[in-house]
C-alpha cells in the first residue's frame, strides 16, 4: 500500500476552514474546495513511486487487477474527493456514457483544445457520483413537480415570474419543465437580472422555504440560475447520509463538507450560478426533464461491520467502517484497487509494504499527508484526511490505534 499525497483545488466556492480543520493545518485564508484522491490526469495523487496515473500506466494489471483493467482499461475508474463548499457550486448536469462519447468525439473533430474554457467534454466518460455528508450538508437535486415549482414562484409575487408560473401549469410535466428552463436560460441578460433581483428581495423578506434562494442570490446576483434553482428540490443531509446523482439530473451543492466519489470524469454542463461557459442547446439535450424526489441513502450494514452505500454505478463502491477502540484486525483485501481515507480518529493499516517516516505538505495546490508518521514494518497509521492506495489483491487489514476510535471510508470497484 502507498500513502497518498493529494492536491487541494482552490475553487472560489470552497470553504477557507473545513479542509484545514480536517487535516489539522492552519487556514491560509484562501478557499480550499476539493482534495482529490485518485489518478485523474488533472491532479493525480502522488506516491513515493510517482504520480498514481503514471504508476498505473506502467503495469495496469498489477495495480488494478485483471478484471478491472480488462473492463475499464489502464486507468483507475473512480475519483475520490473531500468536498468543502463555503458557497453554492454551479447548477449543473452530467451526460450519460453515450452522450459523453458523442460530445467528446465531436469536440475532438472540431479541434477544440481540451483545456479551452468553452469546451463541454474533457473526456469521453460519464460521471455518476455520490456525496456522503461529513457535516450537515445542503444541496439542490432533481426537478420538483411543476405545480410545486409554480406554487413556490407564485408566492414571491413578482410580475415577471408570472409567465413561468402559467407555463408550469399549462403543459405535461416534461414539456413544462423544458419550456421554463429554456425560457429562464435564454431570457435577455438585463431583463433576467432585474427579475432575479426582485425575486431575491422577496425571498429574503419571506424567509422560511425561500431562505436558501435568497442566500444563492447573494452569492450570484442577477444569475438566471437563481430562478432555475427554484425548480429543484432543496435537500439537507445529516452526517453519514448520502445522495446518488445519475446522468441528466440537475443539481448543485450549497454548503457543507462531504466525501464524494464519482466515475473518473470531468464532464460538466452548467445551467447557472457560475461565470463559466454555458452551452444552453447542449445542456437541454442532456437534461432529463423528469420530476424526481431525491433518494437519501443511508448505509446498509454488512455482517463484517462495513456500511455500504448501494448505488447502480459500475465504476465505484463506497463504504464506511466505524473502527472501534483497539478493534481486532479486519481484512479488507480484494482483487480490485482501493483508496482508504480516514476522516476521524486514528486507524492502523497492516499490509505487506514497509512504511517509514514521511514528510508531506498540505495546502492549496499541494499534497496532504501525515507530516510525520511512523509505524512498524508493514504498518501505517492514518489520521484525519490521510489516505492510501492499495493495489488489487494486496493484503491490507485495519484495526484501532492506541485506544482511539476512527472512521474509514473505503473506495473500490464493485464485483
Catalytic residue positions? 270
**Whole-number Å distance between alpha carbons of 63 and 68:** 10
- Find, among 77, 123, 75, the residue nearest to 268 by Cα: 123
* Residue partners of 332: CB distance under 8 A and separation at least 6: 338, 340, 390, 396, 397, 398, 410
Strand partners, 253: 139
**Whole-number Å distance between alpha carbons of 113 and 155:** 45
H or E element that contains 269:
strand 269-272
Contact 76, 264 (CB under 8 A): yes
Contact 276, 37 (CB under 8 A): no
Would you tell me the crossing angle of helices 162-170 and 173-186 to the nearest 10 degrees? 160
Cα dist from 94 to 42, 91, 124, 126, 262, whole Å: 18, 11, 12, 7, 11
Amino acid at each position: 500500500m502507498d500513502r497518498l499525497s493529494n492536491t487541494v483545488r482552490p475553487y472560489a466556492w470552497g470553504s477557507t476552514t473545513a479542509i484545514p480543520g480536517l487535516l489539522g493545518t492552519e487556514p491560509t485564508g484562501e478557499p480550499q474546495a476539493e482534495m482529490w484522491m485518485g489518478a485523474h490526469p488533472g491532479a493525480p495523487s502522488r506516491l513515493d513511486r510517482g504520480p498514481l496515473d503514471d504508476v498505473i500506466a506502467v503495469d495496469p494489471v498489477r495495480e488494478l487487477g485483471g478484471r478491472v483493467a480488462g473492463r475499464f482499461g489502464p486507468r483507475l475508474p473512480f475519483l475520490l474527493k473531500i468536498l468543502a463548499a463555503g458557497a453554492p457550486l454551479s447548477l449543473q448536469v452530467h451526460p450519460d456514457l453515450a452522450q459523453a462519447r458523442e460530445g467528446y468525439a465531436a469536440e475532438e473533430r472540431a479541434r477544440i483544445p481540451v483545456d479551452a474554457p468553452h469546451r463541454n467534454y474533457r473526456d469521453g466518460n460519464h460521471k455518476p457520483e455520490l456525496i456522503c455528508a461529513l457535516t450537515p450538508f445542503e444541496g439542490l437535486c432533481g426537478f420538483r413537480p411543476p405545480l410545486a415549482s409554480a406554487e413556490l414562484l407564485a408566492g414571491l409575487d413578482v410580475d415577471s415570474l408570472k409567465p413561468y408560473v402559467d407555463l408550469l401549469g399549462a403543459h405535461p410535466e416534461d414539456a413544462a419543465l423544458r419550456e421554463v428552463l429554456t425560457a429562464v436560460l435564454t431570457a435577455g441578460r438585463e431583463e433576467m437580472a432585474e427579475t432575479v433581483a426582485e425575486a431575491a428581495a422577496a425571498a429574503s423578506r419571506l424567509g422560511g422555504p425561500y431562505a436558501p434562494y435568497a442566500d444563492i442570490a447573494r452569492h450570484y446576483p442577477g444569475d438566471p440560475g437563481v430562478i432555475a434553482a427554484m425548480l429543484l428540490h432543496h435537500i439537507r443531509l445529516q452526517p453519514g447520509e448520502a445522495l446518488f446523482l445519475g446522468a441528466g439530473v440537475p443539481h448543485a451543492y450549497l454548503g457543507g463538507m462531504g466525501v464524494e466519489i464519482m466515475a473518473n470524469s470531468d464532464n460538466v454542463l452548467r445551467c447557472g450560478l457560475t461565470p463559466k461557459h454555458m452551452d444552453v442547446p447542449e445542456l437541454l439535450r442532456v437534461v432529463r426533464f423528469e420530476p424526481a424526489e431525491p433518494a437519501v441513502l443511508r448505509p446498509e450494514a454488512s455482517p463484517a461491520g462495513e456500511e455500504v452505500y448501494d448505488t447502480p454505478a459500475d465504476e465505484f463502491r463506497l463504504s464506511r467502517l466505524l473502527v472501534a477502540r483497539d478493534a481486532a484486525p479486519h481484512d479488507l483485501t480484494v482483487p480490485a484497487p482501493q483508496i482508504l481515507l480516514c476522516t476521524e480518529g486514528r486507524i492502523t493499516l497492516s499490509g505487506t509494504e514497509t512504511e517509514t517516516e514521511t514528510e508531506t505538505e498540505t495546502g492549496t495546490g499541494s499534497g496532504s499527508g501525515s507530516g510525520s508518521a511512523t509505524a512498524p514494518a508493514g504498518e501505517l497509521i492514518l489520521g484525519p484526511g490521510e489516505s492510501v492506495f492499495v493495489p488489487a489483491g494486496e493484503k491490507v487489514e485495519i484495526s484501532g490505534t492506541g485506544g482511539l476510535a476512527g472512521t474509514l471510508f473505503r473506495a473500490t470497484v464493485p464485483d
